[in-house]
Amino acid sequence: MNSTSSTLLPQARRRKRNPWPAVLGGALLAAILGFIVFGNLSKSLEYFVTPTEYKAQSSEYVGRTIRLGGLVKSAHYDRESLKLSFTVTDYGASYPVSYQGAVSDLFKENQGVVVRGAFTPAGVFQANELLVKHSEEYRVPTSQADIKSMLKDTK
Amino acid sequence: MLNLLSFQASALGTVGELALLAALLFTLAGLWLAVVGGVKNDPRATEGARRSVWAVFGFVTLSLVILEVALLRDDFSVRYVAEHSMRVSPTWVKVTTLWAALEGSILLWAWMLSLYAFVLSLTLRRDALRPWALGAMFVSMLFFIGVVASIASPFTPLAQIPSDGAGPNPALQNHWMMAVHPVLLYFGFVGLSVPFAYAVAALITGRLSEHWLLVTRRWTLLAWAFLTAAIVAGGWWSYETLGWGGYWAWDPVENASFIPWLLTTAFLHSLQIQERRRQLKAWNIWLIVLSYSSTVLGTFLNRSGIVQSVHAFSNGPVGAVFLGFLAFLLIAGIALAAWRSPYLRDEGTPAAPLSRESAYLAGNWLFLVFSAMVLLGTLFPVLVEAATGKKTSVGAPFFDAFAIPLGLGLLFLMGVGPLLPWRRATGERLMGALKIPGGAGLLALVVGFAAGLRSVGVLLTLALAAYNVAGLVVLTLRATKERGSFLALYREQPRRQGAHLAHLGLVVLALGVAFSTAYKSSAEITLNKGQPVTIAGKTAVLEGLERRTYPYGTSAVATVTLGGQTYMPRSNLYVNGGNTLYPTPSVRYGLFGDSYLVTTNLDPAGGWASVRLISSPLVSWIWVGMLIIVAGASLTLATPKLAVRQAVGAGAVAAD
């Protein structure tokens, strides 16, 4: 017996298996995952917001963690108690911000800042993180478009 | 491109670029030879392809050495050196600047790829897979060497040669981990290209031999060990430099290194099912295609600028090209797998639901789901921005919501797997085998609860850790008794004992992660010089604030006595870093917890300093656990000692 060419065997018949366990298991897994994703994802999404945008849609953002960007005005910092309070503005709207923690010397009047935290129903932004690090090429934002791009570029 | 090569403008740059172009030429030649050798079954063409690998390796090494020499000699006529290096940096920073920015890092990747191809060409067996495996490596090399030779070349000359360069990113000058983490990570990522090449070869030839299983497993294990070490080393680097006492932020680029790790771990386990039962052949091929593609996805995310991350390199045209290569890999891999996987037939019947195979398969599914969720969380901001135009970022709560249950599930499967027999387990025997580990788990749960732990995640991790350890101890003791000594057991079963050690390391790491995340505490205070203050139950005094000047920057070193121990946290300023302070926290490592002090603000005159004190329990267990995992992985690479055969002397009769 001589086969000159290497022929591959024909496809073997597959034994029929009950598809229901796999289908049900997959559906269960998908349901659990869907619950986790859609339950948690929208809550965990942090939007990047300017004060004017917040003013336009306050009810949507109150209580949710967001990133707020703008210019610093009237900053008060108590070094001993590590309490910082300032106003953030984007030439359109202004909101008071309060933060507890050490603040670097870069934090001055008229600097751009991005803070991460949430608005209280009273309208004060409770910040839990100050996000801006400046390089020597940093330029003070002078318009809403600048503030938007500062928000966008924050890492 | 020829007007970019000019000896007058930059001698080193031109030689470097020529070396890259020569490497590209040999890559193309080698790819053609490999395909010809594979299609026509011509061993001479295959041998030519094999030698082309050596030529490519030689030329890429040459260009790497040239770039390194240019960095060390401050040759600012080379663009990369002018943009990323400066005269005043210490030597180790100049060496690591090679991979501190985009072009150099792609050159490093290409070099590692050629190194792996070189080693492969020396160890590759002469079989039908050989030309195709070399060909697949050539395809990978064609992409990376092509990119670094053309659009991301570090050697393009400059119109005007500056007297000093811009220097590397200060965050990359701050810690010696810069010399370790990226190298380990690239060895891990690039290492996956070899199993991928073998898989492509197996698909094209339709053959999966015993040898294929052996070499794929060993190469994957090597890449996996590097990847594990690299990810944890990166976490340690964050811990030591970022000042928030954390080590993992579900940052998009961290996730991009985690996804390949998850897929490769799944692959390592499902390979064993193929070894024992000759099943899941197509599954394994798909998995390795996905793993390798996910490494390219990672490098694409890092360089394209589509996700905001502290790790991201600057964006440019490079991103689009990486996306193209990723698409090519996925499409080609999936097409090949779909076309040929009917020829990779599974033998035998699927195992019972309660068996070691099923435990491995369940684990595989958990790893896949985990990867898919991490990928979703990483890419979601991109999808949201494409759909609504709003910029978002996905916070840690989303990742924790599935990472914790999936992690606990994996810990459970890891414990029950070694106790299950292959093929089928009877309920009674399983219950008997689970008695001691289950009991240990419950005991740990009770003890933990009694000790005051209330976090569900921590309690469950503790229980599962005890259950894992008890199971491993029982298995090992029983097996050691049968063989007399542990060394004899290891010599006979290096893979199993090494795997047990790696699992033990993972248990240690899991405990470290659970406790340090749940029970980390931090306090912030401003210290005035000489005045003792109570913080977190201990007395802290700022003894002094000293300023040290280096050629590349200044450091403000605060000496703080806390609870009787001295800490010296530093605040560093770099000459090319503007006014941004880069902290070096002072960490006291302990077996049961770390004390971590970082300066957040200080008085230039030296009168006061604001500090943050962070206490994290069991954080060191993460780094130690990683070392145990890597040790276990290395132990599995030993060859088992088979039963000694008596040498037959001349004149012995065959039948006795």
Cβ neighbours of B562 (radius 10 Å): 22
Residue A79 lies in a domain: yes
Those residues whose C-beta lies under 8 Å from the C-beta of residue B55, and which sit 6 or more positions away, are B22, B23, B26, B30
Residue A65 lies in a domain: yes
Task: Give the residue-averaged pLDDT of B517-526.
Answer: 90
Residues of A in contact with B345 (CB under 8 A): 12
Pick among B375, B388, B522, B526 to test the A interface (most A CBs inside 10 A) = B526
Instruction: Tell me if A96 sits within 8 A of A125, measured CB to CB.
Output: yes
Q: For chain A, list residues with pLDDT below 70.
A: 1-7, 14-17, 105-106, 132-142, 152-155
Instruction: Tell me if B590 sits within 8 A of B620, measured CB to CB.
Output: yes
- Predicted confidence (pLDDT) at residue B357 exceeds the cutoff of 50: yes
B394 at the A interface (CB within 8 A)?
yes
The 3-state DSSP composition of chain B as helix, strand, coil percent (nearest 5) reads: 65, 10, 25
Under an 8 A CB cutoff, do B524 and A47 touch? no
Under an 8 A CB cutoff, do A65 and B395 touch? yes
Residue A109 lies in a domain: yes
Residues of A in contact with B526 (CB under 8 A): 79-80, 82, 102
Q: How far is CA B304 from CA B30, B133, B324, B387, in A?
A: 30, 29, 12, 19
Strand partners for A23: none
Task: Give the residue-averaged pLDDT of B611-626.
Answer: 94
Under an 8 A CB cutoff, do B580 and A134 touch? yes
Under an 8 A CB cutoff, do B580 and A133 touch? yes
Give the nearest partner residue to B380 out of A41, A101, A153, using CB atoms: A41
A139 at the B interface (CB within 8 A)?
no
B253 residue type, one letter: V
Residues of A in contact with B380 (CB under 8 A): 41, 45
**Chain B, nearest residue to A43 by Cα:** B398
Both tokens assigned to B110: 């290409």
Residues of B in contact with A40 (CB under 8 A): 397-398, 401
According to the model, what pLDDT value does residue B315 have? 58
**Surface of B (361-380) touching A: CB under 8 A:** 365, 369, 373, 376-377, 380
DSSP B288-317: HHHHHHHHHHHHHHHHH-SS--TTPPPPST
Residue A147 lies in a domain: no
**Which tops the pLDDT comparison, B42 or B483?**
B42
**Surface of B (576-615) touching A: CB under 8 A:** 576-581, 600-601, 608, 610-612
According to the model, what pLDDT value does residue A137 have? 46
Q: How far is CA B569 from CA A124, B214, B543, B558, B595, in A?
A: 34, 49, 12, 6, 12
Under an 8 A CB cutoff, do A47 and B390 touch? yes
State the Cα torsion A11-A15-A16-A19 to the nearest 10°. Answer: -90
According to the model, what pLDDT value does residue B42 have? 94
According to the model, what pLDDT value does residue B653 have? 65
According to the 3-state scheme, what is the secondary structure of B389-424? CCCEEECHHHHHHHHHHHHHHHHHHHHHHHHCCCCC
**Which tops the pLDDT comparison, A111 or B233?**
B233
Under an 8 A CB cutoff, do B601 and A151 touch? no
Pick among A45, A128, A134 to test the B interface (most B CBs inside 10 A) = A45
Under an 8 A CB cutoff, do A47 and B392 touch? yes
**Chain A, nearest residue to B583 by Cα:** A104
Under an 8 A CB cutoff, do B578 and A11 touch? no
Q: pLDDT for B151-203, tens place per residue?
A: 889 998 887 889 999 999 888 899 999 999 999 999 999 999 999 999 999 88
Whole-angstrom distance, CA of residue B410 vs CA of residue B408? 5
B348 at the A interface (CB within 8 A)?
no
Q: A65: which DSSP letter?
A: -
Q: pLDDT for B297-318, tens place per residue?
A: 988 887 777 776 666 666 567 8
According to the model, what pLDDT value does residue B627 have? 97
Q: How far off is chain A from B310, nearest CA to CA, in Å? A: 6
Whole-angstrom distance, CA of residue B520 vs CA of residue B522? 7
According to the model, what pLDDT value does residue B130 have? 94
Whose CA is closest to B145, among B2, B256, B25?
A: B25
Under an 8 A CB cutoff, do B394 and A67 touch? no
Whole-angstrom distance, CA of residue A105 vs CA of residue A83? 14
Instruction: Tell me if B258 sits within 8 A of B300, measured CB to CB.
Output: no
Residues of A in contact with B206 (CB under 8 A): 8
Domain hosting A109: range is: 48-132
Residue A15 lies in a domain: no
Both tokens assigned to B25: 């030429």
CATH number at residue A91: 2.40.50.140
Of B75-89, B373-387, B400-414, least confident by mean pLDDT is B373-387
The H or E element spanning position A69 is strand A66-78
**Which tops the pLDDT comparison, B19 or A68?**
B19
Residue A113 lies in a domain: yes
According to the model, what pLDDT value does residue A1 have? 44
- Chains A and B form CB pairs within 8 A to the count of 100
Q: How many domains does chain A have?
A: 1
B269 residue type, one letter: H
- Predicted confidence (pLDDT) at residue B595 exceeds the cutoff of 50: yes
Residue A32 lies in a domain: no
DSSP A96-131: EEEEES---TT--TT-EEEEEEEE-TTS-EEEEEE-
**Chain A, nearest residue to B600 by Cα:** A102
Interface predicted TM-score (ipTM) over 0.90: no
Residue A86 lies in a domain: yes
